[in-house]
């Protein structure tokens, strides 16, 4: 695999290894990579992004790897720091725990040389050795998260959480990667899809770790899920919230028209009120998440979000929130007036009190939504002033 000269890069391949206390395996990984460089006449470099408290950095440096110490901890932060240091035309990503066979690096490079921008080593298309992956990860966690990303973003990945990847420098520079934690793995695939990179998968083997795993199944899984929901909050958060809101409104309206709420339909009326207030909160939260996604570059401005991001429209939400609040207070004051009228005696106005509560709480929700939305958009609108 002789390399042509004059590519404009100091080296052809940069291999990045994020490492956290991997003194048992870092040496084997580096030896395999160096052997690949030698056998295939590749000009390459090895960068170890280290956050270890053991001898990992000393071993790596002694074997000729360049060791950097990211300022922030986290899987994504390790890669983000290393990307800035990498000088290669092709960037190879892999874990330092020896679960990936770095002698197979040429398998990842071949599609890049054939025109691909991004290559993923798929464990599920290859061989997962006994003990390499827990049943929870193999049959539930990884397939579920892969399915979610494929459905939401219309992709066709088979293994969204493989850590053995290759990407061209040009393609990497097109991805606005930001995530500092384990969700970085999902972010990279989503952004690659959004940028319409030419993506390929190759089957790889996955081996058991020598040392205990650093993964936290539920915490790391939640980080991936949270990131996906951040990118697509409207269909998965705002739409269900809207359905709750409509059902609640219909329940309240139907039983209010039926009359005699206090004695016959109070529980269903209260259920409707809960759905209205809860649905309203979920809808507004979905819009806030969507705005956050747009402001931080994960999504483009589109549809209803364009309208929400205009200060003139946010002022209308402030007015709407204040109006709902005032209406609720007026309804509540009417109950007090009636109570005074009966000489502070018994008064059955529970349904009216619930209506007052719904109006007041909904008004506060809308008002605070407009305030928070405005806060997120301060820099956005100032930058376009």
Indicate whether 221 and 322 sit together in one domain. Answer: no
**Per-residue model confidence (pLDDT) at position 42:** 95
Indicate whether 170 and 304 sit together in one domain. Answer: no
**Per-residue model confidence (pLDDT) at position 5:** 40
**Per-residue model confidence (pLDDT) at position 374:** 83
Residues constituting the chain? 385
DSSP-assigned beta bridge partners for residue 38: none
**Per-residue model confidence (pLDDT) at position 335:** 86
Indicate whether 244 and 179 sit together in one domain. Answer: no
Its pTM stands at 0.76
Report if residue 2 sits inside a domain: no
Indicate whether 86 and 108 sit together in one domain. Answer: yes
Taking residue 21's Cβ as centre, other Cβ atoms within 10 Å add up to 18
Residue 383 binned pLDDT confidence (cut-offs 50, 70, 90): very low
DSSP-assigned beta bridge partners for residue 14: 45, 91
Is 83 within 8 Å of 168 (Cβ atoms)? no
What is the tens place of the pLDDT at every residue in 188-212? 999 999 899 999 999 999 999 887 7
Is the pLDDT confidence value at 224 over 80?
A: no
Indicate whether 75 and 55 sit together in one domain. Answer: yes
Report if residue 4 sits inside a domain: no
- Select, from the ranges 34-43, 138-147, 149-158, 213-222, the one with the highest average predicted confidence (pLDDT): 34-43
Compute the average pLDDT of residues 92-121. 96
Indicate whether 314 and 344 sit together in one domain. Answer: yes
Q: Last residue of some domain: 230, 248, 280? A: 230
Indicate whether 216 and 240 sit together in one domain. Answer: no
Question: In angstroms, how far is CA 92 from the centroid of its own chain?
Answer: 23
What is the tens place of the pLDDT at every residue in 263-280? 788 899 999 999 999 999
Report if residue 177 sits inside a domain: yes
- The domain containing residue 312 runs over which residues? 233-383
Report if residue 3 sits inside a domain: no
**Per-residue model confidence (pLDDT) at position 359:** 96
Q: How far is CA 69 from CA 48, 77, 112, 246, in A?
A: 8, 10, 29, 53
The structural domain count of the chain equals: 2
Burial class (CB within 10 angstroms; exposed 0-12, middle 13-18, buried 19+) of 348: exposed
- In the structure encoding, which two tokens stand for residue 259, read together? 């009359």
Indicate whether 164 and 207 sit together in one domain. Answer: yes
Residue 304 binned pLDDT confidence (cut-offs 50, 70, 90): low
More confident residue, 220 or 90: 90
Report if residue 6 sits inside a domain: no
* C-alpha span between 76 and 220 (Å, rounded): 12
**Per-residue model confidence (pLDDT) at position 385:** 37
Q: Last residue of some domain: 230, 262, 282? A: 230
What is the tens place of the pLDDT at every residue in 26-81? 999 999 999 999 999 999 999 999 999 999 999 999 999 999 999 999 999 999 99
**CATH number, position 184:** 3.90.550.10
* C-alpha span between 366 and 360 (Å, rounded): 10
Indicate whether 43 and 113 sit together in one domain. Answer: yes
**Closest by alpha carbon to 203, among 166, 156, 158?**
158
Q: Last residue of some domain: 205, 230, 255? A: 230
**Per-residue model confidence (pLDDT) at position 242:** 95
**Closest by alpha carbon to 236, among 295, 272, 285?**
285
Compute the average pLDDT of residues 351-375. 92
Q: How many DSSP H helices and E strands does the chain contain?
A: 16, 7
Pairing of strands 44-50, 66-68: parallel
Indicate whether 341 and 366 sit together in one domain. Answer: yes
Indicate whether 205 and 80 sit together in one domain. Answer: yes
Indicate whether 220 and 254 sit together in one domain. Answer: no
DSSP-assigned beta bridge partners for residue 121: 202
Report if residue 182 sits inside a domain: yes
Report if residue 252 sits inside a domain: yes
Residue 384 binned pLDDT confidence (cut-offs 50, 70, 90): very low
DSSP state of 48: E
Report if residue 79 sits inside a domain: yes
């Amino acid at each position: 695999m002789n390399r042509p000269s004059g590519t404009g890069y100091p080296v052809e391949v940069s291999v990045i290894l994020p490492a956290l206390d991997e003194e048992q395996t870092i040496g084997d990984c580096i030896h395999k990579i160096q052997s690949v460089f030698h056998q295939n006449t590749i000009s390459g470099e090895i960068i170890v992004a280290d956050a270890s408290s053991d001898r990992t950095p000393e071993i790596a440096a002694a074997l000729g790897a360049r060791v950097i110490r990211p300022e922030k901890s986290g899987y994504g932060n390790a890669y983000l720091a290393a990307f800035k240091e990498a000088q290669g035309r092709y960037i190879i990503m892999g874990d330092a725990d020896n679960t990936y066979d770095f002698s197979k690096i040429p398998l990842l490079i071949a599609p890049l040389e054939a025109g691909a921008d991004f290559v993923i080593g798929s464990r599920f298309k290859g061989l997962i050795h006994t003990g390499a992956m827990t049943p929870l990860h193999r049959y539930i966690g990884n397939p579920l998260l892969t399915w979610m990303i494929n459905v939401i973003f219309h992709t066709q990945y088979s293994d969204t959480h493989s850590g053995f990847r290759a990407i061209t420098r040009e393609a990497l520079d097109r991805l606005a990667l930001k995530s500092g934690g384990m969700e970085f793995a999902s972010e990279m695939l989503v952004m690659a899809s959004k940028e319409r990179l030419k993506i390929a998968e190759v089957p790889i083997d996955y081996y058991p770790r020598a040392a205990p795993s650093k993964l936290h199944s539920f915490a790391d899984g939640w980080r991936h899920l949270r990131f996906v929901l951040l990118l697509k909050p409207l269909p998965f958060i705002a739409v269900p919230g809207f359905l709750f809101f409509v059902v609640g409104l219909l329940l309240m309206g139907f039983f209010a028209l039926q009359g005699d709420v206090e004695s016959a339909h109070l529980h269903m009326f209260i259920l409707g009120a809960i759905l209205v207030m809860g649905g309203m909160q979920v809808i507004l939260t979905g819009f806030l998440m969507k705005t956050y996604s747009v402001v931080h570059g994960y999504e483009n401005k589109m549809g209803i979000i364009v309208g929400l991001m205009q200060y003139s429209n946010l002022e209308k939400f402030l007015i709407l929130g204040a109006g709902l609040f005032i209406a609720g207070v007026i309804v509540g004051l009417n109950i007090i007036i009636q109570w005074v009228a009966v000489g502070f005696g018994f008064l059955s106005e529970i349904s009216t009190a619930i209506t007052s509560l719904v109006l007041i709480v909904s008004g506060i929700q809308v008002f605070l939504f407009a305030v928070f939305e405005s806060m997120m958009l301060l820099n956005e609108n100032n930058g376009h002033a």
